Amino acid sequence: MIDRFKRKINYLRVSVTDRCNLRCVYCMPEQGVELINHKEILTFEEIVEIVRTGVEMGIDKVRLTGGEPLVRRGIVSLVRMLSEINGIKDLAMTTNGVFLDKYAESLAKAGLHRVNISLDTLDPEKFRQITRVGNVQDVIRGIEAAKTAGLIPVKINCVIKKSPQEEDALQVANYCKENDLQVRYIKEMDLEDGIFSKVIGGEGGHCAVCNRLRLTANGKIKPCLFDDLEFDVRELGIKEAYLKAVGQKPRSGTENKINKFSNIGG
Ligand code: SF4
| Res 90: pLDDT | 98
| Res 235: pLDDT | 98
| Res 249: pLDDT | 98
Average pLDDT over residues 194-222: 92
Q: What is the dihedral of CA 245, 251, 252, 255, to 10 degrees?
A: -60
Q: Judge whether residue 55 has pLDDT over 90.
A: yes
Q: By mean pLDDT, which of 26-30, 49-53, 62-66 is the weakest? A: 26-30
Q: Judge whether residue 261 has pLDDT over 90.
A: no
Does residue 252 have its Cβ closer than 6 Å to ligand 1? Answer: yes
Q: Judge whether residue 31 has pLDDT over 80.
A: no
Average pLDDT over residues 68-82: 98
Q: Given ligand 1 and candidates 7, 12, 200, 210, which is best to mutate, with the most ligand atoms within 8 Å of its CB?
A: 210
| Res 170: pLDDT | 98
Q: Judge contact between 14 and 42, C-beta under 8 A.
A: no
Cβ-based burial of 257 (10 A; exposed 0-12, middle 13-18, buried ≥19): exposed
- 11-264 adopts what CATH topology? TIM Barrel (3.20.20)
Q: Judge whether residue 266 has pLDDT over 80.
A: no
Q: Judge whether residue 139 has pLDDT over 80.
A: yes
List pLDDT tens digits, range 111-123.
Answer: 999 999 999 999 9
d(CA 208, ligand 1 centre) in Å: 8
d(CA 126, ligand 1 centre) in Å: 30
Average pLDDT over residues 41-61: 98
Whose C-alpha lies nearest to ligand 1, atom 7? 224
Contacts of 23 (CB under 8 A, 6+ apart): 29, 30, 32, 131, 132, 133
| Res 44: pLDDT | 98
Q: Which atom of ligand 1 is nearest to the CA of 253?
A: 1
Q: By mean pLDDT, which of 2-11, 137-146, 175-184, 191-200 is the weakest? A: 191-200
Measuring CA to CA, how many Å separate 187 from each of 53, 120, 163, 214, 260?
A: 33, 11, 8, 20, 16
| Res 126: pLDDT | 97
| Res 134: pLDDT | 94
d(CA 191, ligand 1 centre) in Å: 11
Does residue 115 have its Cβ closer than 6 Å to ligand 1? Answer: no
| Res 32: pLDDT | 75
| Res 192: pLDDT | 83
Average pLDDT, the chain: 95
- Domain spans of the chain? 11-264
Does residue 185 have its Cβ closer than 6 Å to ligand 1? Answer: no
pLDDT > 90: percent of the chain = 87
